[in-house]
Amino acid sequence: MTLTVRTVRLDLDAAAKLLDLVPADRPVTWLRNGDGLVGWGVAAEVRTHGITRFADAAKWWSELTARADVRDEVSEPGTGLVSFGSFAFGDEPGDSVLVVPQVVVGRRGDVAWLTTVGDVSVVPAPAEPPAAPVAVSFADGALNGEQWMSVVADAVARISRGDLEKVVLARDLVATASEPIDVRWPLARLTEQYPMCWTFNVDGMFGATPEMLVRRERGLVTSRVLAGTIRRTGDDERDLALAATLARSSKDLEEHEYAVRSVADALEPHCSSMNVPEAPFVLHLPNVMHLATDVAGVVHDAATVSSLQLAEALHPSAAVGGTPTVVATSLIEEIEGMARDRYAGPVGWMDASGDGEWGIALRSAAISGSTVRLFAGCGIVADSDPEAELAESQAKFVPVRDALTS
DSSP string, 226-263: EEEEEE--S-HHHHHHHHHHHHH-HHHHHHHHHHHHHH
Beta bridge partners of 365: 206, 374
Secondary structure E strands in 11-102: 28-32, 35-40, 44-49, 69-72, 82-86, 95-100
Q: 13 with 79: CB under 8 angstroms?
A: no
Active site residue: 59, 128, 179, 211, which one? 211
3-state secondary structure of 15: helix
From the list 165, 166, 257, 396, the catalytic residue is 166
Q: Confirm if 172 and 141 have CB atoms less than 8 A apart.
A: yes
Q: Which residues are within 8 A (CB) of 103 and not within 5 positions of it... i.e. 6 or more apart? A: 39, 40, 41, 114, 115, 116, 117, 120, 122
166 is catalytic: yes
Q: Rounded to whole angstroms, how far apart are CA atoms 162 and 358?
A: 33
CB-based contact 10:114 (threshold 8 Å): yes
Structure letter (DSSP) for residue 50: G
Is the peptide bond between 346 and the residue preceding it cis, with omega within 30 degrees of 0?
Answer: no
Q: Show the DSSP H helices in 269-382 as ranges.
A: 307-314, 325-335
Q: Is 179 noted as a catalytic residue in this protein?
A: no
Do 174 and 372 contact (CB within 8 A), yes or no? yes
For 33, residues 6+ apart whose C-beta sits below 8 A from its C-beta are 195, 196
Rounded CA-CA distance 396/375 in Å is 8
How many Cβ atoms sit within 10 Å of the Cβ of residue 125? Answer: 8
Using CA atoms, how far residue 333 sits from 187, 243, 321, 330, in Å, is 30, 33, 11, 5
Residues paired with residue 9 on neighbouring β-strands, in sequence order:
113
Q: How far apart (Å, rounded) are the C-alpha atoms in residues 376 and 387? A: 15
Q: Among all residues, which ones are annotated catalytic?
A: 166, 211
